[in-house]
Structure 1
Amino acid sequence: MNSSLIKKLLAVLFLLVCILSIGPAHAYTVSEPDFSSMMEENGAVMLLIDPETSEILYANEAAAKFYGYSKIELETMKITQINMLSSEEVKHEMQDAALENRNYFVFKHRLADNDIRTVEVYSYPVQYEGKQVLFSIIHDETGRVILQEKQDKLIAGVILSGIAVIVILLILLLLLQQNRKKIGKAKQRIENYSKLIDTFINAYDSMIYLKDENLNYVFANESLKKFFKKSSDEIVGKDDYALSDTAFAEIRRQADQAVLSKKRILSDEVEWNGHVYSTTKFPVRMLNGDFGVGAYIMDITSQREQKKLQDKISERNKILIDVISLSFHNKQEQLDYVLHRALDMTDSKYGYIYYYNEETEVFTANSWTRGVMEDCNITNPQTRYELNKTGIWGEVVRQRKPIIVNRFQEPNPLKKGYPEGHVELGRFMSVPVIIDEKIVVVIGLGNKQTDYDDNDVDNVTILMGGTWQAIQRKETQELLSFERNKYLQTLISIGDGVMVVDRNARIEMLNGVAQRLTGWTNEDAQGRDYKEVFVLSHEYPNHSVADPIEGVLKTNTVQELGNHAILTARDGTRYHLEDSAAPIFNERGVNEGVVLVFRDVTEKKEQRNKIEYLSFHDTLTGLYNRRYFEEELLQMDTEQNLPISIVMGDVNGLKLTNDVFGHTAGDVLLMSIADALRVSGRPGDIIARWGGDEFVMLLPKTSSEEAKEIVSKIKDKVVHQHVKAIKGSISLGIGSKTKISDSISDALDEAEDNMYSEKTIESETVRDDEIKIIMDTLHTISPREKEHSEEVSRLCEAFGKAAGLSEVKVKKLKGAGYLHDIGKIVLRPELLNENYPLTEEDLNEVRKHAAVGYRILNSSEKTLDFAEAVLAHHEFWDGTGYPKGLKEEEIPLIARIIMVIGTYERIANKKGDKALNKREAVEALRKGSGTQFDPNVVETFLQMLESEI
C-alpha cells in the first residue's frame, strides 16, 4: 500500500473521528469550518479556488511542495496558470464543479519547473469568507504503471470521494444552524451522505478500522465485522482482548503499541488460523490531541499460496535443466538424482523409483532414497516384485494414473504385499511415467508433512516425464553415435567429405560427410552433373572462384581451392571449404575421373575471424586496441579529414580501485569508462584503449572546439559512474591537426601532454575526493563507524595536547584517528555491526582492513603520513597483534595511541549504561596494559580522562 493512499486513509479516519465526536445538528455554532487547520493537518494537496475569477484563495503546504511554488506565490496565482486547458475550458469545468454536475476531473498540471503531471482533482462547492468557492483535492497519478497501483488508484478515488462527501457533510452540519427551515431536508442529506460513506468504505473487501488512544475500536468496516462475526455495536468501544482469543489479541496489541510508540506507519505480515494477512497500521491524531491507530488489513493467503506454487514450478524446472545439462555415469545415477530432488521438491521423507515391464508385469528397483533402509526392518528386501503380488503401491499401474493416499494408517484392503517391518507411512503418492502408451517407470513418495495434492502430482509427472525423455534422448544419441562411428570406421575411414566424379562430370559417389555438407544423399546425387550438387562461389560478391574438378579434367593435375571458397548446400546452408582434387588414372594412364576431398572449415574460419578481431580489439572493453588505432591514424591522416582532433584520456583511481577492491572492480571501472567514451563518440570516430588505464579517440573532421564539446560530454557521463566507493574520473587532453603539412604525431603528443597536465592539476584533488568519498560511503553504510571515527579523532587530539606533543604531531594524530578504520570499506555491511556474531572466517576478513587502509592512504600525498600508523593500529604491545606482529617500540607511537583510544571508545560508547560502559572500558585498558597496550600510553590516557572528569 503506497504512502499517498495511507495519507488518504488518514484523512478519512480523521474526518470520521470528527463525525463520531460531534453531537446532533443543534449543537453546532454558526461559524465557517476552519479550512486552514483542516487543510494543513492533512498530507493531501488541497486548494480553495474562486470559480468566478479562477484565483487561488488558499493553498496548503502540501500544494506548495507539489507545485514547486511558495504558499505566497500560489495564493497570488490563478488556476489557469497551472491547468493546461484553455481559460474557457477551465472556467467551464469549474462551473460544472460549482453546480455539482461533476466533481471528479483528470487534468494536466504544469509545475514550477515546467514538468507536466497528470492529476486527479476532486472539487466541491463550499462557503469561504462569505462566498461560494471550490474546495479541491489534487492527487498526482503520473507514476502509476503496475496493476497494484491501478488498484490503489481505485481505492484512492473511492476514499477521496468519501473525503469530499465528509467535508460536505461537515459543512452542511455547520450550516444547519443558519437555516432552521431547511433542517429537515439537511438532516435527510446528512443521512444520505452517511450511508454513502458507509457504502464507500464497506464496499472494500479489506479490513479497515480506527482505534482510540486506549486501543478501543472507534470504527470498523463491514469486512472487519465479518472477520469478528460481530455487529458494529458489539465492536465499537471494545479492545481486541474482548473480541478474540488472548494470543491473537496480544499479536495485534503489540503491533498497535509499536505504531503509537514510533508514531509512524508500520507494515507487517501476520499468519493466523491458516491465513496470511498483510497489515498496514498508522498513527491518527484524535480530537483530544492523543494518537489512535488506523489500519488497513488485506488477506493475502491466496497470493502466498500462488507464490509457493510458482516456487515449486521453478524448482521443478531447475531440476529438469540439471537433468538435461549435468553429466551422469548411467541411467540409474540420473534417476537416483531426480528421486532425491523430487523428495526435496515435495517435502517428502521417503521415496523410490521402480522400472516396470508391461510384458512381464514385473517391477525392478532402481533406487530408494537415503534413510529408507536404515528405517526399514524387513529381512532380505526384494528388488523385483510381480504386479499381482503388490498391494496399494501397485495401484498406480493397475489404474494407470497417479495415486494419492493421505490417510495411509487407516484400514485398506489394498494393503496386501505391505510386509511387516516396512517403514511407517502416513501419506503416500505414486506417479506412473507413460511413454508410447506404456508404463515404463513408477515413482513413489511418502510422509510429506502435509497432504499430497494435485500440484504435487502435476510437478512430479512433468518432472519424471521430462527426465525419461532426456534419458531416451541420450540413449538415442549414444546409439546413433555408435552406428555413425561404426559406419565411418568400417566403410569410410576418412573424416573429410569425399566425392567421386567420372570423366563426364557425373557423380558416382558421395561419402557421409559429403552428403551432409552438400545436402544431397548418395542415391539422389548419383548420375547428376557435379555442378548441380557441388555449388561453389566466392566468399565476397562479384568475385569468382576456380573450379578444382574442372581444372583436373582439363589439366590432369592436382588442383586446390583458394581461401575464399564457399559451398552452398541444397538447403541454402553455406560452408567455408578447403579441398583438393586429383585425377583418377586407369592402368593405361587415362583420366577416368576426379576424386575430390573437401572439409568444412567454417569453424576454423570463424576462429580465424575471431583471432583477427582480437588482434584489433581490446578483450576487456571491446574497444579497438592500440595497434588498430595506430594503423587507422595513418589511414585517416588525409586532407579530406581535416581538421583532425585527438582526445587522450587517463583513468583516475584505477590503481586505488585495484588495490582496495581487487582487479575485478578495476575491470568494471575501465568498462564503465569505455562505455562513456563509446556513447559520447560519433559514427566514424575511432575509440581505442591505448594502454592499461589510457584511452584515445581519433575524431576526423573535428575542430578543437568541437572536440571540447565531446570531452565535456564524456566528463558528464563519467561523473555518474561509480564502482564500489570509487567515483569515476578521467583526465582528458586534446590535440588537433588543422593543416596537411602538420604532423599527426604532433597532434597525438599534444593530446598526451594536455592530458598529463590536466592529470597533474587534478591528481591531488581527485585523490582527496576519493578518500573523502570512501569515508562518506563507509559512514553512510554504518553511522556507528562515523561516530567511532569522530570520537577517536577527538580523543586523539585531546591526548596529544595532554601529552605535550607538538602541534604538527597533534594534527597528525587527530587525522590518523579519524581515518584509522577507512579500510573497513571493503567489508560486508553486516561485519560493521558490533553485535554481529563473527566466525573465524569473518575475523580474517575484518583483519584485512588495516592493510587496505594503508593502501588507500598511501595513494594521496596528504594522507601518506597516516598510512604507517593505520597499518599498525591493531599491533599489540606484546607482539601478538596484526598484520606484522610488531611489538613495543617497533609499533609507531600514533598506532599505539589509536589502539588504546579506539578500544576505549568501542567499549565506552556501546549500547547500555554509559557510566558503566566507561568504567568497563577503563578496566579493559588497565587489564591489557603491558600486553595489548603500551602501558605509558594507557597511563597518560587515564590521567587525561580523570582530568576531564
Structure 2
Amino acid sequence: MEPAAADSLLIVGLVIAVVTLLLLFVQTKKKLTDNNAETKSIKNICDVFMNGHETAIYLKDEDLNYVFLNKAAESHFLKLVPERINQIDPSLEAEAFESSILVTDRQVIETKKTIEYEEKHKNRIFKVKKFPVELENDRIGVGAFIREITDEEKLIKKQERVLFRNKILVNVLSKKFRNDQKQLDYVLHEVLKLTDSNSGFICFYDEKKRQFTLKAWSKGLIKGADMMRLKQSYQLEEVGLWGDAVRQRKPVILNNQVDKLASECGLPGGSTITGNFIAVPIFIDEKITAVVGFAGKVDVYGDNDVYEITVLMNGVLTNVERRNIQNKLFAERSKYFQTLISIGDGVMVVDPQGKIEMLNKVAQQLTGWTNEEAKGRHYREVFVLSHEDSRQEIADPIVAAMATDQTQELKNHAVLTAKDGSVFHLEDSAAPIKNEKGETVGIVLVFRDVSEKKEQRKEIEYLSFHDALTGLYNRRFLEEELLRLDTERNLPISIIMGDVNGLKLTNDIFGHAHGDVFLKKIADVMRRVCRSDDIIARWGGDEFVILLPKTTIEQAKQIKKRIKTEFAQDGVKLIRGNISLGCAAKTAMNQSIMECLEFAEERMYAIKVLERDDFKSSTLDSIVTSLQSDCPQEEEHAQRVSQWCHDLGVSMELPHVKIRRLKLAGYFHDIGKIVLHKDLRDEYNDYSEEELTEIRKHPIMGYRILNAFDDTMSLADAVLHHHERWDGSGYPKGLKGDEIPFISRVVAVASYYDRLTTAQEGEGLGAEQNPLNQLEQSEGHFDPEIKREFVNMIKNLPS
C-alpha cells in the first residue's frame, strides 16, 4: 500500500474514532442529565412524602449535626429549623423534652443498634424510635421517628377502665355474698380503685323522708372516729356539698383544691372534703335511691367517672333490690302456698317436666278438668292456650318462666279453651317455685277469667270514639280523622254539617226520651244514605258532621238532598223530621280542612235561618191538625171559646190588639192536650188521682208549645194560667186575684161556660142547671168583674 493511501485511512479512522467518542460523550452527558433530573424528581417526591407525614422525622450525622428535618419536626420542636441544618442545637432539643435526646442519639451511633422508648413531656406522651444510618465514607449517623401517642394511651386506659368496671359488675352480679352489706362494701372498694380515689361512701336515700342512710364507707373517709357512735342517718337539709347531688338531681364535681369546714361541706362521719370530690345520685325508676361520693383523686373527676359510677351502682342496687324481692317472694310463696288453693283465681302447679301437680277449684272450673283427671298430665293438654286472633301465636308463660327462672306475665289477647269448648279470656302470671337451696322445683301459674273485663274495656274503647246515644263517631274521633284523611290522595274532600230542627220542641213537649229517638232516627238515615268509607259523627247536641273523602261538591249535594228527603218522611209524634244541611269541599292541598268545615257550618246556619219559619209554621199547623183529627170536639170547643173571648172583648170595648190576643188565646188554650191520651181529654169523666195529675200538665205543655213559636210566644203565659182560680185554688202555680193574667181570666170564664153548655146539650139538663145560672153561682173561681161582664153579654144576646 502506498504511504499516502495509508495516511488517508489513518485519518479516516481517527475521524471515525473522534466522532464515535463525541457521540458517546453526547449520549453519556444526556444520560447523566436525565439521571440527575430523575434523581431530583425522586428527591422531591421523597420530600413531599416525608413532609406530609404526621410523624416527626430527622437525620443527624456522626457529629449530631442535623442533615434533614421534615415539617412535622418543625411543628414538634416549636420553631422553624431549615437554618439548623449541619448544626448542633441542644437548646432546640431541650425545648422538645425535659430530658435531652442527645444522649440517646449518641447511644445509637456508638452501639449501631436501634432503640425504642416512650417519653413524657407536659402531659403528652411520645413514641420515639431511633436507628443507625450509614452515610458517605463509612460514616454512621442517626435517624429518628417521633410520634405522639397521647390519645392512644388515653384510649387504652379508657378500655382498661371499662374492662375493670365490667369485671367488677360481673363479680357483683355473679358472686354469692353473705348479705347486701358485704356486696356494697365490695363494690365501694372496687370503685375506689376504678376512680383512683382514696375515700368514698354509699348512702341510700328516701325521697319521701328526705333522709340519707349511710350503708358503706371506706377507712379513709372516717379517720379516728368512734365507729360504734358513727351517725347512720342524715336529713337532706343538714348535709353539705354532697347533698347537692339530691337537691340539684345531678352529679356534683369539685376539682378545685379546697379545705372547707365540716359544718359546711362535711362528709358522712364528720370529716371535711379535701382535694377533688365527686358525688353522684343514683336513679331507679326516676327516683333517687342512693348517693355515692368519692374524694382524693389526684387527677380531676370528669364525665367518665360519673358514667362508670352510675353504671356500676345501678347494676348493684338493681341486683340488691331484685334479690330482696326474690327472697321476699320465696318466703311468701313458702308461707302462703296453701292459700293459693283457696283463692279466687285459678292456680295450677307443674313440675320441671311440665306435668301437673295441682289444680285448685277455680282452675278446675275454667279448664273443665278435675284435679284427679289433670294430675300427671302435661299442662298443655289441660291448659289449652291460644291467641284470640287465630292467625297469631301466644307466648307460653310457663315455658318462659322455666327458661328464664323468673316470673312471667301472660301477654294480652290470650284465650283459654276449656275441655267442653268454652272460651275464656285470661290474665295470668307464671313464677318459679324455689326450694330452700334456691333451686327451681316447679312453676306456679295463677290465672283469672277477664272476659267480662275485656268486654268492658272494649266498650270503653268504643265509647271513647263513639257517641253513646246514636252509635255514630264522636267529635273527638272526627277531629282526628280530619287530620288523618287530609291528604292529596283523598281529594276532593267534602264535608256536610247538619243541625236537626225541632229537637228542643220534641224534648219540651214529649220529653227527652222522644228527643233521643229523634236523634237516633236521623243517625239511621245518615247511615243508610252514606257510603261505608264515609265518616259520620255527632258533632254535639243536635249537630252532625259527615266527612266524605274522594267526593265532589256535586256528589255531596246529592247525598245532602237524599238525607233531607228521607228524614222528612220520618219523625217523632207530631214533629216531622227536618234537618238543615250545609256542605263544602276541599279541592286543593293549599286549602285548610278546618276552613272547609267552618264554611259548611256557615252554610248550614244560613239555610237554617231560611227554613226556620216554614218549619215552625208547619209544625204548629201539624199539632193543631192532629189535635183536631184525634178529637173533633176539642176543635169545636176551641172555636167557640175563641169566639166568646172575642165577643167579650168587644163588649168590654177593649183595644183591637187585645181583642185579637183574646181570640187567639181562646183558640189555643187547650193545645197542650195533644200530649194526653185520648181517654184523658174529657174534663167531666171520673179520673183517678194519678190521671188527674197527668191532665193538669196540659197548661204547661201548651205553654211550652206556644213559647217555641215566635207568632204564639205572647200567648204562652195566658195559656199557662187559664186554669188558675180567683181564690188561688187552681193550677199549675196556685195564683190568685190579679196575679192571674187578664187574658187567662177571660179564657177561664169562656171555657167554663162552653163546657157547661156542651154538657147541657148532651145530657138534657133542666133549667136549674142552666149554664148561665151555674156560672153566676160559682164563687171564688173567676174574676167577679169579668164574670159579670160575660153574664150580661150572654143575657143581651138576641134570643
TM bracket (short chain): 0.5 to 0.7
- Give the CA deviation at 1:588: 2.6
Match of 1:922 among 765, 772, 779: 772
Q: Which amino acid aligns with 2:770?
A: E
Cα 1:808–1:571 shift into 2, 3 Å: same
The answer to whether residue 429 in structure 2 is matched with residue 587 in structure 1 is: no
Could you tell me how far 1:770 is from its partner in structure 2? 2.1
Partner residue of 1:609 out of 458, 463, 466: 458
Change (3 A) 1:594 1:913: closer
Q: Partner of 1:687 in structure 2?
A: 536
CA spacing shift, 1:914–1:769, aligned 2, 3 Å: farther
Instruction: Tell me, yes or no, if the aligned pair for 1:584 and 1:591 is still in contact at 8 Å.
Output: yes
For residues 748 and 786 of structure 1, what CA distance do their matches in structure 2 show? 47
1:724 aligns to what?
Answer: 573
Task: Specify every segment of 5 or more residues in structure 1 that has no aligned partner in the other structure, as ranges.
Answer: 1-487
Q: Distance in 2 between matches of 1:532 and 1:489?
A: 25
* Inter-partner Cα distance in structure 2 for 1:735 and 1:543: 44
- Return closer, same or farther for 1:568/1:797 CA change in 2, 3 Å cut-off: same
Superposition map of 1:71-150 within 5 A: none
Distance 1:914 1:491, change over 3 A: closer
| Alpha-carbon distance in 2 for matches of 1:595, 1:632 | 46
Establish whether residue 765 from structure 1 lines up as the match of residue 614 from structure 2: yes
Whole-angstrom distance in 2 between the partners of 1:507 and 1:835: 81
Give the counterpart of 1:657 among 493, 506, 509: 506
Q: Is the 8 A contact 2:560 2:581 kept in 1?
A: yes
Instruction: Identify which of 679, 686, 690 aligns with 1:830.
Output: 679
Q: 1:619 aligns with which of 452, 468, 474?
A: 468
Corresponding letter in the other structure for 1:614: L
What is the aligned partner in structure 2 of residue 548 from structure 1?
A: 397
How many angstroms apart in 1 are the aligned matches of 2:412 and 2:767? 83
- Where 1:707 maps in the other structure, the secondary structure is helix
Which residue among 348, 357, 379 is the counterpart of 1:499? 348
Q: How does 1:449-848 map to 2 (within 5 A)?
A: 492-848=341-697
| Aligned-residue offset at 1:947 | 4.0
Task: Please say if residues 340 and 347 of structure 2, whose CA atoms lie closer than 8 Å, have aligned partners that are also in contact.
Answer: no
Change over 3 Å in CA distance of 1:849–1:828 after alignment to 2: same
CA distance, structure 2, for counterparts of residue 867 and residue 721 of structure 1: 28
Paired letter, 1:525: A
Which residue does the alignment assign to 1:857?
706
Larger Rg computed on CA atoms: 2
Q: CA shift at 1:944, angstroms?
A: 2.9
Say if 2:706 and 2:716, in contact at 8 Å, map to a contact too: yes
Corresponding residue SS for 2:540: coil
Q: CA RMSD in A?
A: 2.5
- Aligned residue among 860, 867, 881 for 2:730: 881
Using the TM superposition, give the Cα deviation of residue 835 of structure 1 relative to its aligned residue in structure 2, in angstroms: 4.8
Distance 1:586 1:938, change over 3 A: closer
- Separation (CA, whole Å) in 2 of partners of 1:579 and 1:802: 89
Alpha carbons 2:408, 2:431 under 8 Å: kept: yes
Q: 1:912 to 1:489 in 2, by over 3 A?
A: farther
Q: Is the 8 A contact 1:908 1:914 kept in 2?
A: no
Cα shift readout 1:285-318 (whole Å, capped 9, x = no counterpart):
xxxxxxxxxxxxxxxxxxxxxxxxxxxxxxxxxx
Q: Secondary structure at the match of 1:697?
A: strand
For the 8 Å contact 1:652–1:731, the answer to whether it is kept is yes
Instruction: Give the conservation status (yes or no) of the 8 Å contact 2:341–2:347.
Output: no
Equivalent AA in structure 1 for residue 492 of structure 2:
P
In structure 2, the CA distance between the partners of 1:489 and 1:861, relative to structure 1 (3 Å rule), is: farther
SS in 1 for 2:626: helix
SS in 2 for 1:745: helix
Does the 8 A contact of 1:908 with 1:917 survive in 2?
no
Alpha-carbon separation, structure 2, partners of 1:935 and 1:893: 12
TM-score by length of 2: 0.55
SS in 2 for 1:898: helix
**Displacement after TM superposition at 1:570 (Å):** 4.1
| CA distance in structure 2 between the aligned counterparts of 1:712 and 1:519, rounded to whole angstroms | 58
**Quick one: distance in 2 between partners of 1:490 and 1:691?**
52
2-structure distance, mates of 1:874, 1:790: 18
Instruction: Please tell me the residue identity of whatever aligns with 1:574.
Output: V
CA distance in 2, matches of 1:839, 1:589: 81
* Residue-pair matches, total: 461
Q: Deviations over 1:186-208 (max 9, x none)?
A: xxxxxxxxxxxxxxxxxxxxxxx
Q: Can you list the C-alpha shifts for 1:166-213, whole angstroms capped at 9, x where unaligned?
A: xxxxxxxxxxxxxxxxxxxxxxxxxxxxxxxxxxxxxxxxxxxxxxxx
Q: Distance in 2 between matches of 1:645 and 1:794?
A: 55
1:513 Cα offset (Å): 2.8
Whole-Å separation in 1 of the counterparts to 2:580 and 2:677: 31
CA distance in 2, matches of 1:807, 1:918: 37
Report Cα offsets for 1:346-366 as digits up to 9, x if no partner. Answer: xxxxxxxxxxxxxxxxxxxxx
CA deviations 1:682-737 (Å, max 9, x no partner) are 21122222212222222222222212222221122222223222222222221222
Secondary structure of 1:492 counterpart: helix
The correspondence of residues 36-75 of structure 1 with structure 2, limited to 5 A, is none
Distance 1:674 1:775 in 2: 28
Cα deviation for residue 865 of structure 1 reads 0.8
Matched residue SS, 1:948: coil
Q: Distance in 1 between matches of 2:683 and 2:734?
A: 24
Letter in 2 for 1:842: E
Q: 1:711 to 1:491 in 2, by over 3 A?
A: closer
1:944 is aligned to 2:793: yes
Going from structure 1 to structure 2, the CA distance change for 1:789 and 1:533 (only over 3 Å counts) comes to same
Secondary structure at the counterpart of residue 734 of structure 1: strand
- What is the Cα deviation at residue 627 of structure 1? 2.0
> Where do 1:886-925 residues align within 5 Å?
886-910=735-759, 911-912=761-762, 920-925=770-775
Any idea what SS the aligned residue of 1:684 has? coil
Amino acid at match of 1:812: R
Residue-by-residue CA offset, 1:253-295 (whole Å, 9 max, x unaligned):
xxxxxxxxxxxxxxxxxxxxxxxxxxxxxxxxxxxxxxxxxxx
The alpha-carbon distance between structure 1 residues 703 and 495, as it changes in their structure 2 partners (threshold 3 A), is same
2:580 match: secondary structure: strand
**How far apart, CA to CA, are the structure 1 residues paired with 2:508 and 2:339?**
61
Unaligned runs of 5+ in 2: 1-336
- After superposition, what is the alpha-carbon deviation per residue over 1:782-804, rounded to whole angstroms, capped at 9, x for unaligned? 11100011111122222222322
Q: Distance in 2 between matches of 1:768 and 1:932?
A: 35
Q: Does the C-alpha gap of structure 1 residues 594 and 838 become closer, same or farther in structure 2, counting only changes over 3 Å?
A: closer
Rounded Cα–Cα distance in structure 2 between residues aligned with 1:947 and 1:666: 50
Rounded Cα–Cα distance in structure 2 between residues aligned with 1:746 and 1:541: 45
SS of structure 2 residue aligned to 1:800: helix
Kept in 1: contact 2:518–2:572 (CA 8 A):
yes
CA shift for structure 1 position 819: 0.5
Going from structure 1 to structure 2, the CA distance change for 1:685 and 1:816 (only over 3 Å counts) comes to same
Question: Does the aligned pair in 2 maintain the 1:907–1:918 contact within 8 Å?
Answer: no
Paired letter, 1:923: N
Report the alpha carbon displacement of residue 842 of structure 1 after superposing the two structures with TM. Answer: 2.6
Q: Is the 8 A contact 1:909 1:917 kept in 2?
A: no
Q: Is the 8 A contact 2:342 2:360 kept in 1?
A: no
CA distance in 2, matches of 1:918, 1:651: 56
Q: CA deviation at 1:818?
A: 0.6
Q: 2:716: which partner in 1? A: 867
Q: In the TM superposition, what whole-angstrom CA distance separates every residue of 1:77-120 from its partner, at most 9, and x where no partner exists?
A: xxxxxxxxxxxxxxxxxxxxxxxxxxxxxxxxxxxxxxxxxxxx
Amino acid at match of 1:737: K
Distance 1:808 1:780 in 2: 30
Distance in 2 (alpha carbons) for counterparts of 1:834 and 1:775: 19
Query: What's the secondary structure of 2:486's corresponding residue?
Result: coil
